[in-house]
Amino acid sequence: MESCFDVALCQRTGFRVYVYPQQKGEKIAESYQNILAAIEGSRFYTSDPSQACLFVLSLDTLDRDQLSPQYVHNLRAKVQGLHLWNNGRNHLIFNLYSGTWPDYTEDVGFDIGQAMLAKASISTETFRPRFDVSIPLFSKDHPRTGEEVAHGDRLRPPACLIPRDTRKALYHVHNGEDVVLLTTCKHGKDWQKHKDSRCDRDNSEYEKYDYREMLHNATFCLVPRGRRLGSFRFLEALQAACVPVMLSNGWELPFSEVIDWNQAAVIGDERLLLQIPSTIRSIHQDKILALRQQTQFLWEAYFSSVEKIVLTTLEIIQDRIFKHISRNSLIWNKHPGGLFVLPQYSSYLGDFPYYYANLGLKPPSKFTAVIHAVTPLVSQSQPVLKLLVAVAKSQYCAQIIVLWNCDKPLPAKHRWPATAVPVIVIEGESKVMSSRFLPYDNIVTDAVLSLDEDTVLSTTEVDFAFTVWQSFPERIVGYPARSHFWDNTKERWGYTSKWTNDYSMVLTGAAIYHKYYHYLYTHYLPANLKNMVDQLANCEDILMNFLVSAVTKLPPIKVTQKKQYKETMMGQTSRASRWADPDHFAQRQSCMNTFASWFGYMPLIHSQMRLDPVLFKDQVSILRKKYRDIERL
């Protein structure tokens, strides 16, 4: 890679990606617009070419089939005329279709020089390992972000021609019982001119079945080559949790550099097609379950949207450049995947909350409390001082950080109560809401207890919440719960604080989570979302819940019901007016929809689980209960 790519440029500027400005009069297909939008919306993007180390053309290179209406003519001259082209050095070219009828070669129709290819249907012969990136073939209807693909009553797949020899072999495998192989000749407007003796029968059989129903009920899905090595069937199978049976010899599978496809697919030989039924029948049910589970992980992590395909491509290239902090195979092939595990945070897996079991580690035994203070300290009876004392008495507390986001100067040291654990007071950066989630070096433990200044918690409640979190270190665990819902009349997401048996958020005014989420909040989320939070001085807790649920695909965990939390909050001065303010509530509604739009879907997940101490509220002696004080609150 070093001979064709200036690695030193990335080491000087960091991994930043520049997209050429669109040239006047140049047509760009929707699929390529989605690719460029994904790059421009990512944390890698820069609008300054002098700060970039990777360059992407605005000229549409996706479809290089000369018979296609999307084909861009005179691309060779247009590319050579770019002043930053430099023979393609440090450039990345995206391509889905190359060559044309009848042989569909892999030639993209212009000299790419030293540019890297992110290409679909690329063969192992032309693929340059650790330089090119094999991407999946996706249709123009593939979601741009995370939204669901709209399905009609009868989903029909994008056209995908199967070679005649393969079609003939499939005919002999089909038994209409546990092996159902359906093909149609209806490709293109003039398909009847090319029909053979089997077409009428194939078409009739094909029309009997609902494609979507068949796809989602199947255990294995054959993925034969189409016109080219890749096929739309590949992503369809992954999405449907149908184990792909690959029948395309010589195809460099998508993201094969980092994905272990043996965990999610059956790699067949198209020359031995008749042996496929007996091969898949011999696979044990436990193995089938593991394969299907892995298809769902891979689909969600890397393939469910154009954005994820693009970001995965960029992350793979970044790993090559910064080898000393590159992700290993475990990170790429295990939940939550490579896009959410940022190696810049740490090169040690034990520093992330997802791998304790794999490494045989126990969750952390101590936490750091971070108290967000926004009102001046005028009385020794203020709730923040009582809270500080109660938290400091916890057997699990290592230290307390008071984040001073108040406009008034820091109080004198003697104003803070004496405690058995260190109390560190730091001024918030720019006094904005997002500063409470910055990855402060002062936080020395993996566990963070996040608290609002007017939260009322006893030492017993703190201890119990932390012991629960130790069993669920990748999730948010805490007391105040909220929920979301879909408002059919307004066709938007709604936010509710009603006390019900259902919740999807645990507010960070009294919650424990892993400190890695501070790093992810700061470095993964886009600036516009954090700026919105800061301008409103609101919604930071909702955004953190969105982020953690998007990563874990799990809801937060609420611990023992504490109605006093709500009642006490309404009785305090610092935030009471905010909770009662209708504008504050309307802002949170708006935040919900803005966040869902950026994520491309609603990541929050409803739960009805509440964890209480053993014997909580049971009619037994109070002496038998470990967390007896909780019942008195």
pLDDT in tens, 352-411: 999 999 999 999 999 999 999 999 988 888 899 999 999 999 999 999 999 999 988 888
199 compared with 303, residue with greater pLDDT: 303
pLDDT of residue 495: 95
CATH code where residue 410 lies:
3.90.550.10
Residues 51 and 174 in one domain: no
Q: Are 462 and 397 in contact (CB under 8 A)?
A: yes
Q: Which two tokens stand for residue 595?
A: 């966040």
Q: What is the pLDDT of residue 413?
A: 85
Q: Are strands 557-559 and 477-478 parallel, antiparallel or unpaired?
A: parallel
CA–CA dist 403, 436 (Å, integer):
7
In-domain check, residue 236: yes
What would the mean pLDDT of 420-445 be, rounded to a whole number? Answer: 92
Least confident of 190-204, 341-355, 597-611: 190-204
Looking at the structure, do residues 477 and 553 belong to the same domain, yes or no?
Answer: yes
Least confident of 3-17, 198-212, 373-387: 198-212
Q: Is 632 among the domain residues?
A: no
Please check whether residue 153 lies inside any domain of the structure. Answer: no
Looking at the fold, whether 371 and 294 belong to one and the same domain comes out as no
Confidence check: pLDDT of 569 > 60: no
Any domain includes 354: no
- Provide the token pair at 126: 């032309």
Gap between the Cα atoms of 389 and 346, Å rounded? 33
Residue type, 369: A
pLDDT band per the 50, 70, 90 thresholds, residue 626: confident
* Predicted local confidence at residue 615, as pLDDT: 66
- Of the chain, the percentage scoring pLDDT greater than 90 comes to 68
| Whether residue 339 has pLDDT greater than 50 | yes
Query: Are 470 and 600 in a shared domain?
Result: yes
Q: Is the pTM of this model over 0.85?
A: yes
| DSSP string across 538-593 | --HHHHHHHHHHHHHSS--EEES--HHHHHHHHH-STTHHHHH-HHHHHHHHHHHH
> Are residues 399 and 463 located together in one domain of the fold?
yes
Six token digits for residue 101: 């009828």
What is the distance between the alpha carbons of residues 601 and 352, in angstroms, rounded to a whole number? 25
Give yes or no for a contact between 393 and 423, defined as CB atoms under 8 angstroms apart: no
Using only the alpha carbons of the chain, give its radius of gyration. 28
Mean pLDDT, rounded, for 326-342: 96
Within a domain: residue 231? yes
Question: Is 134 exposed, middle or buried, given 0-12, 13-18 or 19+ CB atoms closer than 10 A?
Answer: buried
Interatomic CA distance for residues 309 and 238, integer angstroms: 14
- Domain of residue 102, residue span: 7-120
Residue 396's contacts (CB-CB under 8 Å, 6 or more residues apart) are: 365, 366, 367, 462, 463, 466, 467
Q: Give pairs for 347-355: CB < 8 Å, separation 24+.
A: 351/446, 351/516, 352/514, 352/516, 353/446, 353/473, 353/474, 353/514, 353/516, 354/474, 355/330
My answer on whether omega of the bond before 417 falls inside 30° of 0, hence cis, is no
Between 91-105, 169-183, 368-382, 428-442, the lowest mean confidence (pLDDT) is in 169-183
The number of residues in the chain equals 633
Q: What is the pLDDT of residues 575-605, one digit of tens each?
A: 444 655 778 889 999 999 999 999 999 999 9
**620 found inside a domain:** no
Q: Which residue has the higher pLDDT, 507 or 182?
A: 507
pLDDT for res 633:
52
* Separation between Cα atoms, residue 119 and residue 35, nearest integer Å: 13
pLDDT greater than 80 at residue 567 = no
Domain shared by 297 and 182, yes or no: yes
**Domain co-membership, 210 together with 105:** no
Please check the confidence at residue 142 and state whether its pLDDT lies above 70.
Answer: yes
Closest CA to 524 of 348, 303, 338: 338
Structural domain includes residue 333: no
Same domain, 273 and 370: no
Bridge partner residues of 400 (DSSP)? 369, 423
d(CA 475, CA 53): 36
b/e code 203-214 from CB counts within 10 Å (16+ = b): bebeeeeeebeb
Query: Which of the listed residues 120, 148, 174 is the one where a domain comes to its end?
Result: 120
User: Has residue 378 been placed in a domain?
Assistant: yes
Q: Are residues 385 and 485 in the same domain?
A: yes
Q: Name the percent of the chain lying above pLDDT 70.
A: 90
The answer on 198 and 95 residing in a single domain is: no
Q: Are residues 272 and 405 in the same domain?
A: no
**pLDDT (0 to 100) of residue 576:** 46
Residue that terminates a domain, selected from 282, 301, 320: 301
> Residues 612-627: what's their mean pLDDT?
71
What is the C-alpha separation between 233 and 235, in angstroms, rounded?
6
Structural domains counted in the chain: 3
pLDDT digits (tens, 9 = 90+) for 65-78: 888 888 899 999 99
- The last residue of one of the domains, among 54, 86, 120, is 120
Nearest CA-CA partner of 263 in 255, 275, 272: 255
User: If pLDDT is split at 50, 70 and 90, which confidence band does 109 have?
Assistant: confident
The Cα angle at residue 553 between residues 547 and 558, in degrees rounded to 5: 80
User: Is 89 in the same domain as 197?
Assistant: no
